[in-house]
Chain A
């Protein structure tokens, strides 16, 4: 429209008092909108919440106290059910021997490398399955099924194929992690609101742009949930593989430590190994996945009102 129509409107609005709609100048409209925007926007800020750190610590303290209480009742032999201090002592001994450091380093290295390879393999696979109907129909049930299969089941096969080498461990880790990452990504893609696709289409996105610029970021919460589960599966599969496949050219991991404790019937070592495995798992969850997930959800306004 030519700009003189604006002038026309202004003259009309000053001359005709009985006009139908309120006509405001640009500045007035701007002020009105700013006021309304201010009234309608949320201004609440999340403040630092110490209960997030204190409550879990309190929960652990309570559990350890209950454990100590049970042990001091003397209902079971001490070498079968060691108390927290016995376990701490054997943990210190293992640390002094350098076994803790060695096994944690070996396992963590394997776990992280296996997980990284799984992510690289599973991400394009998940995107393809989420975007191409034929592939989804063909392979979807199979990949969901693989998630049900415990990855320990692959250990015997892996030992036969690869012998007692690191390849066995990595194979089992990949078989455990890939299906859950793929499934997480696919379900994330399934939950992408259809309008996001229509908008992208209207904005002229190509198929590749749609996948990378819209679908992938939109499905990120599901993807991260899948990654988290994929890590848990990697770590578990790794432990299973390390417990079963001992010897050969394989390094000394946490699973091997656990198996050694069992062979020596040393409950202190067994408990120490279990606690370290648990501790590493929790550490990765708290230090890596927790913050990423919370940040991701909070930025999208999805966290308010949840217990997270």
Chain B
């Protein structure tokens, strides 16, 4: 197991718990989609896995070197070029100068941005910025990649292409990906497994496997989408009282 969560709980101060009894195990090389409505504590959960926050109860097991992180906002540094952003990440990891240059070229090529390396973030489109952010996250060379709604702010065409792109990169690099989303279709399209988180407190309440055959079968995808959506709505309706 690459990531193991056991009865994880988190509360801030004396408030209501944000996460309670979250248990999950994620295998090496697996692509897991975490699905949940607002207030499911998904960002907190990712922060805990990344080691940015500590859980208040329970235990977790993550690779010793931590995890790479990609945010909803590309958050590229505007004073650096696309290449410069990736090279800075490598530099902070302690990679030598010559190797930084070579690695950055490789990573830019991996996200199909070989030509745009010398552009600054404001000259790039939203989709290109997210690809640079992805390359920057991959430059950390960590087994686990955490993604917090990375495509939520993109238009549908771009998002569609980036789904393919991410799947391809996942296959090529063999990373373990934990992908948080609000979007049922996105979760099913990308994840090998979809975990549904409840809201306030967040807890894993349902789980679906999405085998490759299902992904390639339109009818099966539609049926699964219906299932997951129904369960998600049930979870949201619980909060109407």
Contacts and interface: CB of A to CB of B under 8 A. Distances in A.
Interface of A: 1-3, 5-6, 8-9, 12-13, 16, 18-24, 26, 29-30, 32-34, 36-37, 40-42, 193, 195-196, 198-205, 209, 213-214, 217-218, 220, 299-302
A18 B79 contact: no
Given A6-B171, A301-B120, A199 B75 contact: yes
Nearest to A213: B88
Nearest to B85: A199
B219 to A, nearest CB: 8
Given A5-B212, A193-B75, A198-B52, 19 more contacts: A1-B172, A18-B218, A19-B216, A21-B215, A23-B164, A29-B168, A30-B112, A36-B161, A41-B124, A42-B123, A198-B75, A199-B69, A200-B92, A203-B88, A204-B66, A204-B92, A299-B79, A301-B122, A301-B123
A281 B61 CA distance: 62
B189 interface: yes
11 contacts: A6-B171, A12-B216, A18-B218, A19-B217, A37-B116, A40-B126, A42-B123, A199-B69, A199-B71, A203-B92, A204-B140
Contacts of B217: 16, 18-20
A37 B128 contact: yes
A191 B30 CA distance: 39
Given A8-B212, A32-B161, A195-B71, A21 B123 contact: no
Is chain A's interface secondary structure helix, strand, loop, or mixed overall? helix
B235 interface: no
Given A6-B171, A205-B92, A220 B79 contact: yes
Interface in B83-112: 88-89, 91-93, 112
B171 A301 contact: no
Interface residues of B, number: 54
B57 interface: no
A271 to B, nearest CB: 44
A128 to B, nearest CB: 22
A5 B171 contact: yes
Contacts of B63: none
A108 to B, nearest CB: 31
A36 B128 CA distance: 9
B158 A217 contact: no
Nearest to B52: A201
Contact of A196 (B75, B113, B136, B174): B75
B125 interface: yes
Contact of B71 (A198, A200, A213): A198
Interface string B217-241: 1111100000000000000000000
Contacts of A199: 69, 71, 75, 77
A249 B228 CA distance: 86
A203 B113 CA distance: 21
